[in-house]
Amino acid sequence: DTEVTQTPKHLVMGMTNKKSLKCEQHMGHRAMYWYKQKAKKPPELMFVYSYEKLSINESVPSRFSPECPNSSLLNLHLHALQPEDSALYLCASSQFSGGALTDTQYFGPGTRLTVL
């Protein structure tokens, strides 16, 4: 089973709203990732968690707040977003063999976010 699930599939929010994106995997992976993807562009890494600890933060604005409650779950809390934050948000997970981030990443279907 190589499934990563994400909810919701679609989200529309105003600039003053607070919402959360959720990601779940049951493959025993110990690294989880958030990416932002604009249309016809490659994914841009936002955050990496390894063993439930934030290991990479790619200078993402504080209106995005990640959380990893346990090894299977990853959340992305959203607050006071801007229209330019509208994008597809992808979650991924991978093994963390030997402390490296070179293992195959498995992606979820994404959450399409629209900020009005």
Partner 1 sequence: AQTVTQSQPEMSVQEAETVTLSCTYDTSENNYYLFWYKQPPSRQMILVIRQEAYKQQNATENRFSVNFQKAAKSFSLKISDSQLGDTAMYFCALGEAGTALIFGKGTTLSVSS
Summarize as ranges the residues that interact with partner 1 (CB under 8 A): 40-43, 45, 48, 56, 58, 88, 90, 92, 98-110
φ/ψ of 18, rounded to 5, equals: -120, 130
Q: Is 99 left (phi over 0), alpha (psi -120 to 50) or beta?
A: left
CB nearer partner 1, residue 16 or residue 53: 53
What's the token pair of residue 61? 């604005």
What's the token pair of residue 66? 């990640």
CB nearer partner 1, residue 80 or residue 88: 88
Q: Can you give the C-alpha Rg of the chain in angstroms?
A: 13
In angstroms, give the least distance from the CB of 42 to partner 1.
Answer: 4
Q: Which residues are CB-contacts of 9 (< 8 A; sequence separation ≥ 6)? A: 109, 110, 111, 112
CB nearer partner 1, residue 16 or residue 59: 59
In angstroms, give the least distance from the CB of 82 to partner 1.
Answer: 22
In angstroms, give the least distance from the CB of 109 to partner 1.
Answer: 5
CB nearer partner 1, residue 54 or residue 100: 100
